[in-house]
């Protein structure tokens, strides 16, 4: 039986040097997320939630403490190992869609699969995800011909094209109006509930956080609930 905990953060600290001052972005964070959970991290600007996102995603190293992804300690990987982990184990969704404007939606998705060494987009899990996202008929369109909500759906599809163990989303509705925000959040919840996708979402918006199954609050680099 596989380990139920898929993200394990222990004693995590991150200190940035700003001129002559040390800024403590994370101050001893402990957090465990089970496989198949949808968890929101909330907190005001400067609370450390975005730093936690980047450390958990292997995008920046911690000053001390440990991060285990699916039972593997990131500190024990070389840079190549962390790069491969990001390609295969983690999908990223950001506030900005970051789609390549000259490519169609389908090609934006396909290039991510190619980078991860996958042959095509034909597996049943991904086809079901496309249906949930409602973009299977928009794959021939380029980003400029799509609404912001549609572009974010494509960005989500690109993030999960390799069926990653974890989806990390950083303010995924920050560029969307209320209607599109609600639609994208509902889709994330469907991906979690219907397909079992583990999701860790960073947001400053309590209404967005409420779509998750569990809410974790941060302040001053610490978890406060």
DSSP string, 113-156: HHHTT---S--HHHHHHHHHHT-TT-TTS-GGGS-HHHHHHHHH
What is the rounded CA–CA span in Å between residue 12 and residue 15? 10
What mean pLDDT, rounded, does the chain reach?
A: 89
Band (3; pLDDT cuts 50, 70, 90): low
pLDDT for 2 equals 57
Please state the three-class secondary structure of 102-116 as a single string: CCCHHHHHHHHHHHC
What is the rounded CA–CA span in Å between residue 30 and residue 8? 8
Sign for the CA dihedral angle at 56, 86, 74, 196 comes to positive
Within a domain: 190: yes
Band (126; pLDDT cuts 50, 70, 90): confident
* Phi, psi values for residue 93, rounded to 5°: -130, 130
Within a domain: 23: no
Within a domain: 32: no
Q: Quick one: average pLDDT of 126-151?
A: 86
Q: What angle do CA 172, 2, 198 make, to 5 degrees?
A: 10
Within a domain: 68: no
What is the rounded CA–CA span in Å between residue 63 and residue 215? 25
Sign for the CA dihedral angle at 31, 37, 43, 48 comes to positive
Residue 219 near residue 47, CB atoms below 8 Å: yes
The range of the structural domain enclosing residue 117 comes to 37-61+86-223
Within a domain: 75: no
Structure tokens at 114: 């190619």
Q: Give the model confidence (pLDDT) of 21-54 as tens digits.
A: 889 999 999 999 999 999 999 999 899 999 999 9
22: left (phi over 0), alpha (psi -120 to 50) or beta: beta
Range from 12-16, 45-49, 130-134, 179-183 carrying the lowest mean pLDDT: 130-134
| Distance in Å from the first CA to the final CA of the chain | 30
Residue 105 near residue 139, CB atoms below 8 Å: yes
Domain CATH for 122: 3.40.50.300
- Of residues 108 and 114, more confidently modeled: 108
Within a domain: 188: yes
pLDDT for 49 equals 95
Within a domain: 137: yes
Q: Quick one: average pLDDT of 193-200?
A: 92
Q: Quick one: average pLDDT of 158-186?
A: 89
pLDDT for 122 equals 57
Q: How many domains does the chain have?
A: 1
Q: Cβ neighbours of residue 149 under 8 Å, at least 6 residues apart?
A: 176, 179, 180, 183, 184
* Residue 188 clears pLDDT 80, i.e. is over it: yes
Within a domain: 76: no
Q: Give the model confidence (pLDDT) of 45-100 as tens digits.
A: 899 999 999 999 999 999 999 999 988 899 888 888 888 888 888 999 988 888 99
Q: Quick one: average pLDDT of 157-173?
A: 89
pLDDT for 1 equals 47
Type and span of the H or E element at 188: helix 178-195
Nearest to 163 by CA among 201, 191, 183: 191
From the centroid of its chain, how far is CA 143?
21
């Amino acid at each position: 039986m596989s380990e139920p905990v898929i993200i394990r953060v222990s004693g995590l600290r991150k200190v940035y040097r700003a001129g002559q001052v040390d800024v403590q972005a994370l101050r001893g964070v402990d957090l465990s997320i089970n496989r198949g959970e949808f968890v929101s991290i909330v907190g005001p600007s400067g609370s450390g939630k975005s730093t936690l996102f980047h450390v958990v995603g292997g995008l920046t190293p911690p000053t001390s403490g440990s991060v285990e992804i699916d039972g593997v300690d990131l500190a024990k990987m070389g840079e190549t190992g962390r790069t491969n982990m990001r390609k295969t184990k983690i999908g990223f969704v950001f506030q900005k869609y970051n789609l390549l404007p000259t490519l169609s939606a389908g090609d934006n998705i396909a290039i991510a699969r190619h980078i991860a060494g996958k042959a095509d987009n034909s597996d049943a899990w991904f086809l079901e995800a496309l249906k949930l996202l409602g973009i299977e008929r928009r794959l021939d369109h380029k980003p400029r011909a799509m609404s912001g909500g549609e572009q974010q759906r494509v960005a989500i599809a690109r993030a999960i094209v390799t069926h990653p163990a974890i989806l990390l989303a950083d303010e995924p509705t920050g560029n969307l109006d209320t209607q599109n925000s609600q639609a994208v959040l509902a889709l994330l919840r469907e991906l979690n509930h219907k397909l079992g996708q583990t999701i860790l979402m960073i947001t400053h918006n309590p209404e967005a956080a409420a779509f998750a199954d569990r809410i974790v609050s941060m302040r001053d680099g610490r978890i406060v609930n």
